[in-house]
Structure 1
Amino acid sequence: MTPQDIAAKVGEQIGTSEWIEISQDRINKFADATDDHQFIHVNEEAAKMTPFGGTIAHGFLTLSMIPYLTQKSDVPRPDGIKMAVNYGGNKTRFLNPVKSGKRIRGHWKLLGMEEKRPGQWQHTVEITIEIEGEEKPALICEWMSMFYV
């Protein structure tokens, strides 16, 4: 698909990822990597006493799953892409905690695809991370990437 073909889809839902489980082991490893060992993430006994009823994933863990979920999705990528880099986020809202053992998946809506320079495209999407079996999503964010073709 050419960048122009992708740009023609602005305003449309453009992809959904596979489901992935957010296990306690993944949460613990993220806590170790970030030194964020708050009990609601890593202490299963103490977390049972909270309104969550158990441990929950860090919001930033859920957010950090976006590159993996993108790889495991049907989101179109430009033909002949040489490189893609994260460019930043405009908005991020953590709406619902992801409990340990739950599965998440992403949904993408294309907000923009703009050629900044020849062969350099700014791709802006709204990403909703759904929690299996729950009405309210884990997060919604507006994210930008830069594609080089």
Structure 2
Amino acid sequence: MAREISLADVPGLIGLVLGVSEWILVDQQMIDRFADATLDHQFIHVDPARAAAESPFGGTIAHGFLTLSLMSAMNFACLPTIREQTMGLNYGFDKIRFMSPVKSGRRVRGHFTLSDARFRGAGMLMTTYDVSVEIENEKKPALTASWITIVQFDPKDRPPEV
């Protein structure tokens, strides 16, 4: 996939995998910092000894929302930029499923398939990505999601055919 595309290219890319990110290590330090930021210090996330003894995971696991939040970094690292874009916004999710826990010390990466793209208003393109966050060497993904974003652009740059 090209690193840069135009607005006019986007409709023709629906149904295609537009990016697969690099691996991101989810280590205990990252999990602990996320726990501090979100005030979620449940032992399955921050207490390796107790999580090993009392949970079915054999140690600590990342917060589901930590894995979800990493999609932003994955997105920026692997999706092509739209030449005419002036700003991008996170619009939300239609569906998120946490399929498998990410154990501390594991690596994850995102797969992004463009499932929909609709021009809205004079200077907006709403895109929907089907995203799967893979855990290295595991069959089941950490999560799947339908992620909606908005690409803003100068109305003068809107392709004439849409």
Contact 1:122 1:144 in 2 (8 A): yes
Q: 2:89, 2:151 within 8 Å by CA — same for their partners in 1?
A: yes
- Is 2:156 the counterpart of 1:142? no
Tell me whether 1:57 sits opposite 2:99 in the alignment: no
Alignment partner of 1:88 is 2:92: yes
Q: Distance in 2 between matches of 1:52 and 1:141?
A: 23
Matched, 1:68 2:110: no
TM-score, length-normalised on structure 2? 0.89
Q: Are the aligned partners of 2:126 and 2:149 in contact in 1 as well (CA < 8 Å)?
A: yes
> What residue number does 2:136 align with?
132
Structure in which a larger fraction of residues adopt helix: 2
Alignment of 1:1-149 (within 5 A): 1-49=5-53, 50-73=55-78, 75-149=79-153
Specify every segment of 5 or more residues in structure 2 that has no aligned partner in the other structure, as ranges.
Answer: 154-162
1:119: Cα distance to partner? 2.2
Segments of 4+ in structure 1 off by > 4 A? none
Question: For residues 99 and 119 of structure 1, what CA distance do their matches in structure 2 show?
Answer: 42
CA displacement 1:74-109 (0-9 Å, x = unmatched): x22211210001001000000000000100000001
Alignment size in residue pairs: 148
Q: 2:15 & 2:47 partners in 1: Cα distance?
A: 42
| Percent of pairs with identical residues | 44
Q: Tell whether the 8 Å contact from 2:17 to 2:113 is kept in structure 1 after alignment.
A: yes
Structure index of larger Rg: 2
Q: Which residue of 1 aligns with 2:156?
A: none
- Please, what is the CA RMSD of the aligned residues? 0.8
Q: Residue 6 of structure 1 contacts residue 76 of structure 1 at CA under 8 Å; is this kept in 2?
A: no
